[in-house]
Structure 1
Amino acid sequence: MALAEHTVDLTASSPDSTPAKPLVTGAGKWKREIEETAAEDAARSRIMAFAKHAGATIKPFVPVPCDPDMSETPSEASGILMDANRNRIMEHAQQVNDRKNTALLAELHAERVARQAVKEGISQPDTNTSKATSLATPTVTVLTYNVWFEEEVALGERMAAIGDVIVETGFPTVICFQEVTDSIWALLSSATWMKQYEACAAGGQAYYTALLYRKSAVTSAQPFSLHRYRNSVMGRGRQEVVLSFGDKTCRFATSHLESPCGWNQPMTNPRKAQCKMAVEALDESGEANVIFAGDLNWLPADGALPLTDGWVDAWAELEPDKPGYTYDGKQNAMLLSRYQTRLDRVLAKLVDWKLGSIEMVGQEAISGVTQTVAVKGGLKETPVLPSDHFGLLFTMQPR
């Protein structure tokens, strides 16, 4: 197993991807599933082709110090390209900033209410602004969200809506993002809610993963790390961080496993091998409590997840009667495909905690925002949601 991965101490470095995409009408269920799943990767080829044509070296903004040995300096032309793009996106985001003021005012109002309550002698727990010091094992929440790398679709509004999800769900303890681009990371990093978090973006590719934890919720944290899959042709890897909550610790990991590349390249074997490598490596870490959450791109044809003893699929355990489609062409009106599948997973191996709850988030269209897309026979206006995926919010409770 150790020979199959390359481990890097992080605060920035690698996942990506690059599928191709023949979209044909299929013969048989298997072919249709692969073809329709490939639809979610439609923009990926365009982005990668453009980046290659432009000669751009993608280097993300990272809010924690990087190991200088792992840093690469972008070319001057690449830096100008990224700066111009980031400025364009930030200007667009400013246009929707007023919509976010309500949430900010609500936060400020809550702080004023809390201060007044203290003056009046009313106890007000503060879980978002003060460092965790209690030795009692806390309830922990984990949000995993593929944020969709498509920058041409209402990017500012979509990232603001994802920020709303974070605030409305009570600032999850740990956040796992996939398909983060430099422009997306610039928007997320500048958001008010981000002040609550320590964050690390993997970087190094056109899009990548990011791992965050709420600073006030932990008593201590080990450095972020990145583990690259050597069998990946898309630059994929797994980010990890070990967090302490009083006298209990838990290792959190996120990944974006190899994506299908059309009906004739489902990438099933590399994806299954990556999942197996991840589970085995997390087992070998020695941590009693482990959460592995992300976009695993797991298709029905991939079969059972390669889980060892003690691991469970949280959705299958907690919501066995619900399909849990995080990519859902019937419920997500932004999608043109009718394909439905459970690409995103939260896998858990717990001793000091137990499974609590799991739900999908980001299922509502953004008010007043639409897109116009080309379809057979003309154009179609659709609503816009925060992402082409729904997020998963998982809660684990102390035993």
Structure 2
Amino acid sequence: MFAGKTEYLSTGDSKTSLCSKAIKIMTYNVCSGKDYKLHNRILALGDIIRHHSPDLICLQEVTPEIHGFLEKSDWWPEYKCLMSRGMDYTEAGMVCSNTRKPLSKRQKQRSYFCMQMSKLPVDSFDGVPFSDSVMGRELCMANINIGGVTLVLGTSHLESPSRPRLRSNERVAQAKESLILLGGRGSCNLIFCGDMNWDDKTDGPFPLPDGWVDAWAELKPGEDGWTYDTEANAMLSAVVHKRQLRLDRFVCKLPDFEVQGIEMVGKEPIPGVLYVKVDVARWKSKEKICRQRRERMLPVLPSDHFGLVLTVTPQPGSCAPSE
């Protein structure tokens, strides 16, 4: 489904300008949880978007409420919004806003969804559900026209681990399926990004075919790149078990573009915004279950994940229609 502005660029939308400019692409898991001052966090996300002015945006864990906050932003009209049909649920999460019918069990399991946004011309968009997902996960794909060259941008939120199952097999299968689907959209220039939920210790190396690169590993070798970090993200500092993982990634196959830079964003607390973290400790003493409640005030960040911004530039002479 296409929603939002129908014109892609207000200025500089000629082939010449598109071929000469750096293209910025953002991926961000925006955290659907309301406990963390949701409205403040979405405003902070908007500040990040205004500051970096990405040409293309991929968001995960978007809820109808988050979508509603975003579309009221002053920067929203600059973008075309791309979502799969059937994913724009009502805020109650119980009725599909397209059909007004009650959601199926599978639909209820995906109460949040992925969303893409583009300042650049979009030739086509599609959302393909994964065949093996019990969580209703899917791959969103947009064919972006950059001066006559097609760039296929895909995003997803791969299967999440849920105790006692880590669901590693499902993630690996979904990653492989995603790269195959992206490669079938008529272009050799491909980017796959999003919350991969990837843990190299359990999932192994990301399954990259020949010609694909992991942008962070390529540009920042030796740097951890943890986008989910219970030590660096003060909003998560109260968790019991330390977790530092590079869940969010950009993987690319770009013969007509050069991968120039990648940076992590959303690492600073929102000034003056705190939330109450409630901990309840339980223990057994003399055949009695004891409980102790403790409240702590913790900082709020734009999300429980950090975001990533990738910069690519067209190779000289690449601006010709893709075969």
TM-score in same-fold range (> 0.5): yes
1:15 matched to which residue of 2? none
Which residue number in structure 1 is paired with residue 115 of structure 2? 210
- The alignment partner of 2:44 has SS state of helix
Provide the rounded CA distance (Å) in 1 between the counterparts of 2:257 and 2:81: 24
Measure, in 2, the Cα distance between the counterparts of 1:129 and 1:286.
Answer: 27
Matches within 5 A, 1:23-42: none
Task: Output the amino acid matched with 1:271.
Answer: R
Candidates 133, 137, 140, aligned match of 1:239: 140
**Residues paired across the two proteins, number:** 273
CA distance in 2, matches of 1:64, 1:238: 23
2:98 equivalent in structure 1:
none
Cα deviation digits, residues 14-43 of structure 1 (max 9, x gap): xxxxxxxxxxxxxxxxxxxxxxxxxxxxxx
C-alpha displacement of 1:245:
1.5
Could you tell me which residue of structure 1 aligns to residue 274 of structure 2? Answer: 370
CA contact (8 A) 2:83 2:127 kept: no
The equivalent position to 2:184 in structure 1, one of 274, 277, 284, is 284
Shift of 1:348: 0.6
For 1:319 and 1:398, locate their aligned partners in 2 and report how far apart those are by CA, in whole Å. Answer: 21
Which of residues 149, 153, 165 is equivalent to 2:36?
153
> Which amino acid is 2:146 matched to?
F
Secondary structure of 1:373's counterpart equals: strand
Q: Which residue of 2 aligns with 1:29?
A: none
Which has more helix, going by share of residues? Answer: 1
Paired residue for 1:389? 305
What TM-score results when the alignment is normalised by the length of structure 1?
A: 0.66
Match of 2:153 among 243, 248, 252: 252
Q: Which residue of the partner structure matches residue 193 of structure 1?
A: 75
Q: Are 1:166 and 2:66 an aligned pair?
A: no
Tell me what 1:57 maps to: none
1:99 alignment partner in structure 2? none
Q: Distance in 2 between matches of 1:212 and 1:334?
A: 27
Distance 1:226 1:249 in 2: 18
Q: Which residue identity lines up with residue 304 of structure 1 in the other structure?
A: P
Please say which of residues 196-205 and 331-340 is displaced more in the overlay: 196-205
How far the C-alpha of 1:287 sits from its partner, in A, is: 0.8
Query: Which secondary structure does the structure 2 equivalent of 1:386 belong to?
Result: coil
Alignment match, 1:31: none
**Residue type matched to 1:134 in 2?**
K
Instruction: Give the corresponding residue for 1:270.
Output: 170
Q: Deviations over 1:111-156 (max 9, x none)?
A: xxxxxxxxxxxxxxxx973151133523111000000001232111
Q: Decide whether the 8 Å contact of 1:135 with 1:247 is kept in 2.
A: no
Cα distance in 2, alignment partners of residues 237 and 317 from structure 1: 27
| Equivalent AA in structure 1 for residue 43 of structure 2 | A
2:81 and 2:143 map into 1 onto residues whose CA distance is: 13
Match of 1:190, SS state, is coil
Tell me the amino acid that sits aligned with residue 179 of structure 1: E
For 2:257 and 2:224, how far apart are their aligned partners in 1? 25
- Following the alignment from structure 1 to structure 2, what is the Cα–Cα distance between the partners of residues 64 and 151? 28
Query: Which of the numbers 360, 364, 376 marks the counterpart of 2:264?
Result: 360
What is the 5 A alignment of 1:217-236?
A: 218=120, 220-236=121-137
Match of 1:144 in 2: 27
In the alignment, which residue of structure 1 is the partner of 2:93?
none
Structure with the higher strand share, 1 or 2:
2
Partner of 2:62: 180
CA distance in structure 2 between the aligned counterparts of 1:175 and 1:340, rounded to whole angstroms? 24
How far the C-alpha of 1:255 sits from its partner, in A, is 0.4
Moved over 4 A (4+): none
Where does structure 1 lack aligned partners over 5 or more consecutive residues?
1-9, 12-61, 66-126
TM-score (norm 2): 0.81
The residue type paired with residue 10 of structure 2 is T
Mapped to 2, the partners of 1:359 and 1:128 lie a distance apart of 25
Note the aligned Cα RMSD (angstroms): 1.8
Name the counterpart of 2:289. Answer: none
Q: Is the 8 A contact 2:153 2:192 kept in 1?
A: yes
Amino acid corresponding to residue 138 of structure 2 in structure 1: G
- Corresponding residue SS for 2:235: coil
Per the TM alignment, residue 260 of structure 1 is displaced from its structure 2 partner at its CA by 0.3
**What is the DSSP-based 3-state SS (H/G/I as helix, E as strand, rest coil) of the residue aligned with 1:292?**
strand
* Distance of 1:390 and 1:160 partners within structure 2: 15
Q: Which amino acid aligns with 1:363?
A: K
